[in-house]
Structure 1
Amino acid sequence: MASNNATRNINDGYLSLTKRIAECICMRLQDILKNKNKFKSYSSALGKGTMSMFKINQDISHHEFGIILEVAPDEDQKLQLEQNLQMSLAQKEMRLEDVITIRSIKNMKLANQVLMFRRRKYQEEEERKAKEAQKQNAQIQQQAAQQQAQIKQQEMQMLAQMQAQEAQMKSQNKIQEMQAEYQLKDQFDSMQHQRRMKEIALNNSGKEKVANVSGEVKLKAQDKSAYNQSRIVEQKRDRALPLS
């Protein structure tokens, strides 16, 4: 196990060599199947059942058979993976469930690949959610704008109706005022006419009275003049009494 960075290259070489040796051992096991003597020896050590399985699959490589050898990670690799997981979780680049899943993977190469895959998928999901949220916000804003336009149109219609009603009321009030003014004027003209008729009647009655009075005075004067003249005639004729 590497204790620090100074011996990491040695440790990497050791791990690579161990992996290659393990792979070669798998290949040699398949080669042993072609040698009957060696097959019997290994059958005694590993068991006939195990060797029979190798014999059945002797034409399949360990890669095709699904046998992959990986050296267990050391503490530094585990620590580095944990730091990457903590950083991704702190920056909200992946879910807690993904972190738990990656921690359970013993293969560091596979764990790092899953880490990158989960981060990319999570970012794609977040971008998709952001686009959907933006789309919903745009729809909400559009609906709000439409509602505001409808409300404004309704307000304008109500204002137009109020103005029309106000104009109608003003017109009706003006007509009523004109009718009232016409009625008052008609009443005033009627009263003026009645007053003039009364004045004419009074004037005519006064003239008749004056005419009657002056006629009576004139008759009296005429009677008195006639009487005086008759008396003068009588005095001259009969030497009557002097005039009184």
Structure 2
Amino acid sequence: MQALQIRFTQGPMQGTTKQYDLGYLLIGREPRPEVDQQALILTGADGSVSRNHVALFDRDGQVILQNISGNGTRVDGTLIIEEAVLKPGAQITIGSHHQLEVKWQLVGRQKQEDKDAKAPAATKAASSGLLASPVVRALLAVYLVAIIGVAAYLSWQGGRNAGIPDDWPQLSAAYEAYQPTEISAAEKTRRANLAEALLVRLRVLRANERTYEVKRLCRVLMRLDADIQSPIYRYGATCLGSIN
């Protein structure tokens, strides 16, 4: 964030100093800022100063002056019609009488020299702490290898599963359209949630070619909705028949 200082050097406000945390500062005769904007009213302004005359804001660490008035704004004697990047100590002239000097500094950031000064201390702490132990380092290495191995297995498993079609979206649509009178809506929803979980497991088993367990889950799907002979029941029967 920029800590902005404005010091009036000429005009009705000469000798006045203002401080702002720069986000978007609107300056003029009767500025009308929007939400989250700040305003600086130029006391004693005449017709040469527009209601909203100029704005100052931060853009990627640079302080930008944006002219809003048809009368223009001068920066170090140069007439600005649109925008200008300000330098610290820039002299801004607004209207016929108001002249102000703008300075700023970064706040809320640690200086690089402070970081450099702390770096040796941090290195020393690391070398004298737990990481200095060969046993701890060996355990960390094993742990890292294990994580990499698990990640590789999951990636491989995901690739295998990708070759098995996901039948649930189509089955879910068919089950949603199926309106049995033998069970309640709540019971139907419960069975649908269970069937979805079973199909996820079934897809994994198919990818790993575990035929016996695939048959078992197909029978579970049949039993789940055997009383209403729903699409889930028929899916289980088809699944079982395709294996036999």
TM range (shorter): under 0.3
Instruction: Give the number of the structure whose residues are more often helix, by fraction.
Output: 1
Instruction: Give the number of the structure whose residues are more often strand, by fraction.
Output: 2
Q: Which has the higher contact order (CA 8 A, sep 6+)?
A: 2
TM-score where L is the length of structure 2: 0.15
Larger radius of gyration: 1
TM-score where L is the length of structure 1: 0.15
